[in-house]
Amino acid sequence: MDKLFGKYPLDGIVIRDKSMAQVISLQPLLVPHTFGRQTRRAFGKMHMNVVERMANKLMRSGTGAKTSGKVIRTKGGMQGKKLRALGIVDRALAIVEAQAKENPVQVLIRALENAAPREDVTRVSHGGVSYQVSVDVSATRRLDMALRNITLAALMGSFNKPKSLEQALANEILSTAKGDLQTSYAMKKRDETERMARSAH
């Protein structure tokens, strides 16, 4: 069986969240790069290795769009540079392994389970009046939101700072896996989303 990046076995990974287990793919690949084959069919990303999906989330444009009041740009622009993004993920996983002393893919799965919100809000219009109602979040969206928030935290943690992107990504994965609300941006975003949903009940 191929090990991820030739280093990390994927056959013993445990996913405790049963709903997310349906949408997290741990397909054994030496290099998690499927060249967009899974995107050509509906729900194809459910069959894409979760580490590749994280690398895809890192490939943001350098437009400087605001997120949580902060301007996000990737150094030199990462859009379309898949091999560069995979290299960053590989080095980040190596840092996670050195600090956690366990398979970094297992740590990543734990972080995704912790960062995935269970409720969100949506806007509903009725009789010309718009208001927000809380809704349950599907497993695919939960995973997407968790991946997005973890990678956004890494980009914000390394932009215009001496910290490298791989170090920032590793730090976010480790703190989110521990469920640390003080240092994990993804955990804070999950709590904020669920708090808004509770207030919309």
The C-alpha atoms of residue 177 and residue 159 are separated, in whole angstroms, by: 23
Number of residues written out for the chain:
201
Cα–Cα distances (Å) from 28 to 107, 152, 190, in that order, read: 17, 26, 29
Task: Give a yes or no: residue 11 inside a domain.
Answer: no
Place of tokens 């287990």: 21
Task: Give a yes or no: residue 55 inside a domain.
Answer: yes
The C-alpha atoms of residue 149 and residue 143 are separated, in whole angstroms, by: 10
Task: Give a yes or no: residue 169 inside a domain.
Answer: yes
Task: Give a yes or no: residue 4 inside a domain.
Answer: no
- CATH code of the domain covering residue 59: 1.10.455.10
Task: Give a yes or no: residue 87 inside a domain.
Answer: yes
Task: Give a yes or no: residue 52 inside a domain.
Answer: yes
Q: How far is CA 22 from the centre of its chain?
A: 16
Quick one: pLDDT at residue 95?
92
**pTM (two decimals):** 0.84
Q: How many domains does the chain have?
A: 1
Q: Which domain holds residue 177?
A: 18-199
For residue 150, what is the enclosing H or E element?
helix 139-158
| Secondary structure (3-state) at 119 | strand
C-alpha radius of gyration, the chain, whole number = 17
pLDDT by 10s per residue, the chain, length 201? 578 887 888 888 888 888 888 888 887 777 777 776 666 777 667 778 888 888 888 887 554 445 555 555 555 566 668 888 888 899 999 999 999 889 999 999 999 999 888 888 888 888 888 888 888 888 888 898 999 889 888 888 877 777 888 898 999 999 998 888 888 888 888 888 888 888 877
Task: Give a yes or no: residue 115 inside a domain.
Answer: yes
Task: Give a yes or no: residue 34 inside a domain.
Answer: yes
Quick one: pLDDT at residue 63?
44
Q: Which sign, positive or negative, has the C-alpha torsion 28, 185, 153, 147? A: positive
Quick one: pLDDT at residue 69?
53
